[in-house]
Amino acid sequence: MAGELPEVAVGALIFNYDGKLFLVKSHKWHGKYAIPGGHIELGETAEDALKREIKEETCLDIHDIKFLGFQEHVFDNAYWKKKHFIFLDFACRTDASEKSEIKLNHEGQGYAWVSVDEALKMDVEPYTKKTIESYIEKYRKK
């Protein structure tokens, strides 16, 4: 592992205008639901990487992007291979609705539009769950 560095990756809670959250079921997370996202290319901003990854994985266009925070994933078995990630987590919006056609790439095996509360009851991978909890803490009215 000499010379290897952590991989910086972006991911987003994607909300439609009905307040529903988009989650994708992924073999990379052992069949659990996760937020879409991926790595940042050299010379690419985090926001541009987020837009590109979301488009590649879901064909969704996103806007109103807000930074939520970061998480560190160090060789956790939750992911399908041994990796050290630094996740930059965002929340954003899409103009797509639950009736819109979603075209997943090879990483997705299904998707769901759900409320935030429903998402917490689903089989979501642990980093997505933490991102949802951070969103609730930061933005939900008390």
Q: What is the pLDDT of residues 20-46, one digit of tens each?
A: 999 999 988 788 999 999 999 999 999
Question: From residue 34, how far is each of 4, 26, 44, 119 by CA, in Å?
Answer: 26, 7, 23, 10
Ramachandran category for residue 19: left, alpha or beta (phi over 0 → left; psi -120 to 50 → alpha): left
Measure the CA–CA gap between 99 and 87, rounded to whole angstroms.
Answer: 30
The mean pLDDT value for 110-133 works out to 95
Domain of residue 22, CATH code: 3.90.79.10
Instruction: Answer yes or no: is 129 within a domain.
Output: no
Its domain, for residue 70, covers 8-112
Residue 103 within any structural domain of the chain = yes
Structurally, the chain folds into a number of domains equal to 1
Read off the pLDDT band of 99 (50, 70, 90): confident
For residue 130, tell me if it sits in a domain. no
Helices marked H in 20-94: 46-58
Q: Is residue 59 part of a domain?
A: yes
Question: Which residues contact residue 45 at a Cβ distance below 8 angstroms, ignoring those fewer than 6 apart?
Answer: none
Q: Is residue 125 included in any domain, yes or no?
A: no
Q: How confident is the model at residue 76 (pLDDT cuts 50, 70, 90)?
A: low
Q: Is 139 part of a structural domain of the chain?
A: no
Task: Tell me which amino acid residue 112 is.
Answer: A
Q: Is residue 137 part of a domain?
A: no
pLDDT for residue 115 is more than 90: yes
85 or 90, which is more confident: 90
Q: Is residue 66 part of a domain?
A: yes
Neighbours of 54 (CB within 10 A): 26
pTM flag (> 0.85): yes
Q: What per-residue confidence (pLDDT) applies to 79?
A: 65
